[in-house]
A = this chain, B = another copy of it.
Amino acid sequence: MVFSSALIENAVNEFAKLPGIGKKTALRLVLHLLKQETVQVQQFGEAIARMRQQIRFCKVCHNVSDEEICGVCSSHSRQRQVVCLVESIRDVMAIENTQQFNGLYHVLGGIISPIDGVGPEQLNIQSLVERVKNEGVTEVIMALSPTIEGDTTIYYLSKKLREYPVKITTIARGIAFGGELEYADEMTLARSISNRLPLDSYVKP
């Protein structure tokens, strides 16, 4: 692509580094920004740079935070004995959006995946063990994706936590709401039958 301005070429190249954004989309975005007020575009650039520069990770649960301890961990209205283990901060957001969970979180920062070279030592596992050991955690909910890597991580962690008096649960696997039974894979369908629930738990909100 021929650009008549190095400034534009530079901006397009930076946008095109983002996932799912090719050169053409990048150019469209840059031309859109060109039409905006200088102040607005500056705000945009600064918001991004500031976000990366000033963001912190909660010392307790490793979630993103503006403070040393995140809002969830420092809240007094949360059940402190229940910890929901998730892979990434995106999962925290997803669960928080349901407004159904009132415990704390622990962000692993990935899952055990030998193919991608991710072993237990790269994940926030030691700090989870410390929390279980010292902070009176009674239940750890493993909210990891139902993949081979997820299951491996759950298995590894359950062995690590075995020596402490803590209940380990996983989120329910089954047919999603709105999902069609006949298109569900065999594994999910089989599990959803063997883990069938009494009707009153279904009716509950």
Contacts and interface: CB of A to CB of B under 8 A. Distances in A.
Interface of A: 1-8, 10-11, 13-15, 17-21, 25, 27-34, 36, 38, 41-55, 63-66, 70-72, 88-90, 92-93, 96-97
Indicate how many identical chains form the complex: 2
Contacts of A90: 27, 31
A48 to B, nearest CB: 4
A47 B42 CA distance: 10
Nearest to A96: B2
Nearest to A53: B38
Nearest to A88: B31
A3 B66 CA distance: 11
22 contacts: A2-B93, A4-B64, A4-B70, A5-B64, A6-B66, A7-B50, A7-B54, A8-B55, A13-B47, A15-B48, A19-B28, A27-B90, A27-B93, A30-B51, A33-B52, A34-B51, A42-B49, A42-B53, A44-B45, A44-B48, A45-B45, A48-B48
Contacts of A92: 4
Contacts of A21: 29
A181 B99 CA distance: 56
Contacts of A46: 45, 49
Task: Identify the interface centre among A54, A63, A64, A96: most chain B CB within 10 Å of its CB.
Answer: A64
